[in-house]
Amino acid sequence: MFEISKRDGLARLGKVKTKHGILDTPTLLPVVNPKILTLSMDELKECGAQGLITNSYIIYKNIELKEVAEEKGVHGLLNWNGPIMTDSGTFQSHVYGEIDMQPDEILNFQKNIGVDIGTVLDVFCEPETRFEEAKKELDETQKRIEESDKNKGSIFLAAPIQGGRHLDLRLKAAKMASKTGADVFPIGGVVPLMEKNNFEKLAEVIIASKKGLDISKPVHLFGCGHPMLFALASFLGCDLFDSASYAKFASRDSLMFTWGTKNLDELEEMPGEFSAATGLTVKELKEMKKESRQKIIAKHNLIVSFAEIRRVKQAIHDGLLWELVENRLRNSPALMKVFAILKREMDWIRKFEPAYRYKTPMKTGNESDWRPIFSKLTNSFKSGDMVHPYFGKVPSHLSETYPFHPGLLQNDIEGWKMQDWNLERVRTILDYQFGKGNGKNLTAGKAELIISRKTKRLRNLLLDDEHVASLSHRRGMFILQKRGAELIHRSSKFPQFRVVVNSETAEFNKKGKSVFCKFIEDIDSQLKCMDECIIVTPNDELVAFGKLIISPKELELGQQGMAVRVRSGIETS
């Protein structure tokens, strides 16, 4: 159901494929109360909604709503033809006390009204709940998940991850839920943390849950509806969010922005992000009748939310999510505390870091120094004739190689200049990319550099008239070709640079077919997403080469789908 197209660390662009359409992740599901429609379905679409979330318990307990839902389905009830997810009543239990509903009863109702994603009636665990009580509640939730999994029918099942503030219970809950056939993993019980601005604990809970979850499934952060949190939550690996906040905040005249919340009474001028009613002044908005004003503010809140979702998506696409997250965390003292959590968890976060990003990384403050790209490479060269403001001394031969290429920093790099192409420069890049010694290994013989007449850039590296590698001008590193893959294979020890596949499926890889996760038996743990790699059998027979498009850690956590985009197979004669 979940197809991932691009990654930026733990964040991913993907598609959740449901019976009623596709959700492009990360995305926001506006909460719709069928009894109180703040915005119409057309207005929700206009704001950017692809899907909705509503509450099956509220529908079930209302005679009129229940009859329409059972007759026309939930899509007919809401007049919405896109994906619909339903909550189960757990939050109502949290707010109002125990509800009169059995888990199988509410699950069957969700199935009967044709929801796309239905949720288990779990036990809401308060952050203040003591460990022993939280453990009992978690055991009950897991029991309900397992029973619901057997009875989910054709709907996608959302299995909430509970455990309160206890991180070991969150990890346990994630691992147990991942062993079931659940399709979506909502991280539950976190609304009280967000209401108290305890974003530090929120980040800890998300990370603890992600460490145990089947990473091939989408993760939903229940109740996360404020735009200032979307970048952080996506960065930590959440794919879906839901928001009743757009309407709740509007009911008390509160406007949401990426930098926080402002009550209408506090405003003298309308911030530039306001686009729900073009040309409307603060004075005019204040003078409106409450119902009209509430609708405009709710629309504003949702427009700002979806604008931030699109901004997060673009940042993932560009490989600039780190920069966006750092910017958002500096918006409040409560969010600033999350930096300490990121620093503490950096060894784990580093395992998802790609080999390169599509844009030059930028430092936006002192906290940037903790990022894997900066902490690993700063002062990593013993000498260099170019002084980079981020990385210290760097060999000038790497002046156009990621992450040292100038980008916006060209005037700040001491000694930077365009370098001529020669064998020494090629070897320096190969050593940096594949490890010391491989510069000579891949050029030992009659090496020839093919230079573009038009751009004067290196295009291909040949050895004894055979194609070794091509140069990617975007990142200034090499793309292996057949001879290069053979040389890497010959000069390195198992399992360096290797993705080890099942001997039977290796026959398909020899013909140029991509490598899928389920057929991988071993992998070099030092490889990173986007690295060049070679594909071998358990007997170390070279069968193909290409680009790794997941991290080894993702493979360990159960990632499915394509793992290596094979560039070419190597048929044996």
Out of 87, 431, 524, 531, the active site residue is 87
Question: To 10 degrees, the CA torsion angle through 34, 37, 41, 47?
Answer: -130
Asked if 515 and 569 count as a contact pair (C-beta separation under 8 A), the reply is: no
How far is it, in rounded angstroms, from Cα 183 to Cα 236?
A: 19
Sign of CA dihedral 453, 456, 459, 460: positive
Asked if 326 and 367 count as a contact pair (C-beta separation under 8 A), the reply is: yes
What is the per-residue burial (b if ≥16 Cβ within 10 Å, else e) of 69-87?
Answer: bbeebbbebbebebbbbbb
Burial class (CB in 10 A: 0-12, 13-18, 19+), 184: buried
- C-alpha closest to that of 224 among 266, 252, 265, 193: 193
State the DSSP string of 302-354. HHHHHHHHHHHHHHHHHT-HHHHHHHHHTT-HHHHTHHHHHHHTHHHHHTT--
Verify whether residue 524 is a known catalytic residue: no
How far is it, in rounded angstroms, from Cα 139 to Cα 127?
A: 16
Asked if 426 and 448 count as a contact pair (C-beta separation under 8 A), the reply is: no
User: How many Cβ atoms from other residues are within 10 Å of residue 464's Cβ?
Assistant: 11
At residue 199, the 3 state secondary structure works out as: helix
CA distances from 192 to 37, 40, 199 (A): 25, 29, 10
The owner of tokens 């998940």 is 145
CA distances from 525 to 7, 557, 565 (A): 18, 13, 18
- Catalogue the active-site residues: 87
